[in-house]
Amino acid sequence: MTRTHCPYCALQCGMTLTPSEEGVSVTPRDFPTNRGGLCQKGWTSADVLRAPDRITRPLVRGESGDLEPVSWDEALAYVAARVRAIQAAHGHDAVAVFGGGGLTNEKAYQLGKFARVALRTRHIDYNGRFCMSSAAAAGNRAFGVDRGLPFPLADVAGADAVLLVGSNVADTMPPLVQHLGPVRAKGGLVVVDPRHSATAALTDAESTGAGGLHLRALPGTDQVLLLGLLHLVVADGLADEEYLAARTTGWDDVRRSVALWWPDRVARVTGVPEALLRRAAHLLADASPARGGAGAVVLTGRGAEQHTDGTDTVTAAINLALALGLPGRRSSGYGCLTGQGNGQGGREHGQKSDQLPGYRMIDDPEARAHVAGVWGVDPDLLPGKGVPAVELLGKLGGEVRGLFVHGANVLVSAPDALAVRRRISELDLLVVCDFVPGETAQLADVVLPVTQWAEEEGTMTNLEGRVLRRRKALDPPGEARSELDILADLARLLDSPAAFETDPATVFDELARASAGGRADYSGLSHARLDAVEEGLFWPCPAGSDGTPRMFTERFAHPDGRARMVATTPGAPADDLQPDRPVYLITGRVLAHYQSGAQTRRVAALNRASAEPFVELHPQLARRLAVDDGDDVAVTSPRGTAVARARITTGIRPDTVFMPFHWPGAGMANAVTNDATDPISGMPEFKVCAVSVARADLATALHEAPRPDTEEIPA
């Protein structure tokens, strides 16, 4: 039996794996985030280990146009030769790296090092840019540091009230719901969501006996709603003025700015009745420690963040939390619900375009000198700051001629995905490291088979900043290899001036040294130490420390110890309603699937639970369009069309449709979404765009999204 963690979301639920001749069985264990529970994905996580189309040999596209099995030596030599040729003709930055938030800390660290030292390219970013980069930018701006939850998740259960903005945790992180149980029992859960999602339903009186509040805001108006709540906190004398004076700067500017957002105006913009706004503001304030409450927590998710004003929206949420005196107090604070399994650690140690290990900024001379010293290279060798993921994908086929993809499936997960597909087809080299033939791998020139979660050692950092051990339970099939081995061999073939270790514990020790003194300091951690602490340790954890479960109890991470409050101004969606596109599209997840679905769509039980994409429509909209439940519906934007079956429900606003984004082909939601980005964080505006909706057989401008190639990839 092997004690490890689920490969999916950032809860990193504890589980035990038991291999047998029949396969691998999964048993949940009592871990602080899941408390013995698992969701459907966790229970079936071992099924992906036995995927029938598992990639087990290196593949190179031959003269016939097909991917053909070759030896590792042949594959790596081919990649190295192509990289050399591209860079000789176009420069170092002509080769880019796109990483993933599911990689272990060791692999994320090594991938950043490989890009900067072996490839010497500035072009590296990762799919975490799609996940919580706006919350990271807002957290850094306000607190001086970005850790998704600056307190243990268990603290939430002790609060009297929780404001949850744009996160459907009942579907995306089901074990988290038990932490909300005591809050729901008090009637203290406030959910902001355009849909009556499974999470919004937790506020229904019949589900709790006490009830809560569901604020069904118009898509794209979360910031207005938050400013309206803060206006009421100020107007009704609910702010913690003593806390604000002692622990923040910028409060006067923020207070003046929210004077513009009086309740009637906010109600007209958001569609949330004024009475509900007042109830929510007072519920949160009465729960705050300053007013004798047990505590209040403000949490944001992708629904608040994936907008062109996402950073400012999260800043407005943080301002509300600070005005109530929550951060650093018992059972209180602001937190972001990180999505991907290692979304936190994945950005801390070098995958983001502007960061070096330890959350150091790559344009900081001292940071460059420190990390270069650990790597044994001249700081001048390191490239400068790159560009965020969407901008990087926009350079494919132009400035960028070659691309490495690790732990991502951009052909399904990126916004305006049809344009991304066209640009990828113009590359001179696409190398994909994967364990199943996802849609991106099917277009690759080289596919390198890699180990899965249960076949490797390493560490992950969950949504609380808790660093955990991932442990190997079984050997990988065929010739699959760890990316640590692959990157080391490629670095050698490319004459890297730095050494690349392959043992995960040794790589982690190097990561710890590189992070020492940074905002995300792991220097007091090691595999051996984490093995001795079953529940993990929280960063920052400098040498000699036992970690930091709760941040900001005495000071924030800015030099003066104060939080920065910043006045914000809401913006409209980049792709707002038009006469020919009068409906908003919002996207999200379903309970059975994860991210692009490359893993979960290979699990029979999950496919039975959710077999195909769909479009949620309100009955009023359906009647206007003459759409019946089960009809094929075309959802069209200037970027493309997605076609899926209609689900008619009163759980969606009449002016809005919802699609999950887990499927490729005709039902691919990201064929429609907009690639406009937040100017601060670089996060794309997945959560709102203007579309036309029609029955597929009546659509006048229907142009079905082409299905990705479905060639068989040899195992």
Whether residues 519 and 394 share a domain: the answer is: yes
Q: Under the phi-then-psi rule, with left for phi > 0, alpha for psi from -120 to 50, and beta for the rest, what region is 399?
A: alpha
Tell me the percentage of the chain whose pLDDT exceeds 90.
Answer: 95
Question: In which band, very low, low, confident or very high, does the pLDDT at 205 lie, cut at 50, 70 and 90?
Answer: confident
Whether residues 324 and 420 share a domain: the answer is: no
H or E element that contains 256:
helix 251-257
71: pLDDT strictly greater than 80: yes
Q: Which residues contact 380 (CB under 8 A, 6 or more apart)?
A: none
Report if residue 700 sits inside a domain.
Answer: no
Whether residues 451 and 511 share a domain: the answer is: yes
Whether residues 78 and 178 share a domain: the answer is: no
CB atoms within 10 A of CB 461: 31
705: pLDDT strictly greater than 50: no
76: pLDDT strictly greater than 80: yes
Whether residues 296 and 372 share a domain: the answer is: no
Report if residue 422 sits inside a domain.
Answer: yes
Report if residue 705 sits inside a domain.
Answer: no
> Is the Cα torsion angle 540, 182, 236, 571 positive or negative in sign?
positive
702: pLDDT strictly greater than 90: no
Whether residues 237 and 285 share a domain: the answer is: yes
Whether residues 612 and 633 share a domain: the answer is: yes
User: Which residue matches tokens 């359906």?
Assistant: 622
Across all residues in the chain, what is the average pLDDT?
95
Report if residue 709 sits inside a domain.
Answer: no
Whether residues 282 and 138 share a domain: the answer is: yes
pLDDT value at residue 714? 47
What is the tens place of the pLDDT at every residue in 498-507? Answer: 999 999 999 9
CATH number assigned to the domain comprising residue 220: 3.40.228.10
Our measurement of the distance from residue 335's CA atom to the centroid of its chain's CA atoms, rounded to an integer in Å, reads: 14
CB 669 within 8 A of CB 384: no
Q: Among the residues of 376-517, which ranges form H helices?
A: 389-394, 410-413, 417-424, 483-493, 504-515
Whether residues 170 and 225 share a domain: the answer is: yes
Count the domains in the chain. Answer: 4
DSSP letter for each residue of 8-73? SBTT--EEEEEEETTEEEEEE---TTTTT---HHHHTGGGGGG-TT---S-EEE-TTSSEEE--HH
H or E element that contains 248:
strand 248-249
Which residue, among 631, 628, 617, 640, has the nearest Cα to 696 in the 3D structure? 631
CATH number assigned to the domain comprising residue 30: 2.20.25.90
Q: What is the mean pLDDT of residues 133-155?
A: 97
pLDDT value at residue 207? 61
What is the tens place of the pLDDT at every residue in 435-448? Answer: 999 999 999 999 99
Which structural domain, as residue segments, surrounds residue 313? 133-337
Question: In which band, very low, low, confident or very high, does the pLDDT at 627 lie, cut at 50, 70 and 90?
Answer: very high
pLDDT value at residue 698? 86
What is the tens place of the pLDDT at every residue in 178-197? Answer: 999 999 999 999 999 999 99
Q: Which of 34-43, 193-202, 341-350 comes out lowest in average pLDDT?
A: 341-350
Report if residue 707 sits inside a domain.
Answer: no
CATH number assigned to the domain comprising residue 597: 2.40.40.20
Whether residues 393 and 311 share a domain: the answer is: no
Report if residue 708 sits inside a domain.
Answer: no
pLDDT value at residue 210? 74
pLDDT value at residue 700? 54
What is the tens place of the pLDDT at every residue in 355-401? Answer: 999 999 999 999 999 999 999 999 999 999 999 999 999 999 999 99
Is residue 619 classed exposed, middle or buried when 0-12, 13-18 and 19+ CB atoms within 10 A define those classes?
middle
Q: Which residues contact 582 (CB under 8 A, 6 or more apart)?
A: 655, 690, 692
Domain boundary among 297, 315, 337: 337
- Please give the C-alpha separations between residue 139 and each of 200, 317, 326, 559, 700, in angstroms, as whole numbers: 25, 10, 14, 15, 45
Whether residues 478 and 353 share a domain: the answer is: yes
Coil, strand, or helix at residue 125?
Answer: strand
At 542, give phi and psi (nearest 5°). Answer: -65, 165
pLDDT value at residue 706? 40
pTM value? 0.96
CB 692 within 8 A of CB 583: yes
Domain boundary among 337, 364, 392: 337
CA distance 18 to 614: 36
Domain boundary among 289, 321, 337: 337
Report if residue 109 sits inside a domain.
Answer: yes
Question: In which band, very low, low, confident or very high, does the pLDDT at 509 lie, cut at 50, 70 and 90?
Answer: very high
Q: Identify the residue with better confidence: 273 or 209.
A: 273
CATH number assigned to the domain comprising residue 92: 3.40.50.740
Report if residue 547 sits inside a domain.
Answer: no
pLDDT value at residue 237? 98
Whether residues 15 and 149 share a domain: the answer is: no
The C-alpha angle with vertex 474 and arms to 472 and 475, in degrees rounded to 5, equals 105
Q: What is the mean pLDDT of residues 268-281?
A: 98
What is the tens place of the pLDDT at every residue in 403-445? Answer: 999 999 999 999 999 999 999 999 999 999 999 999 999 999 9
pLDDT value at residue 388? 97
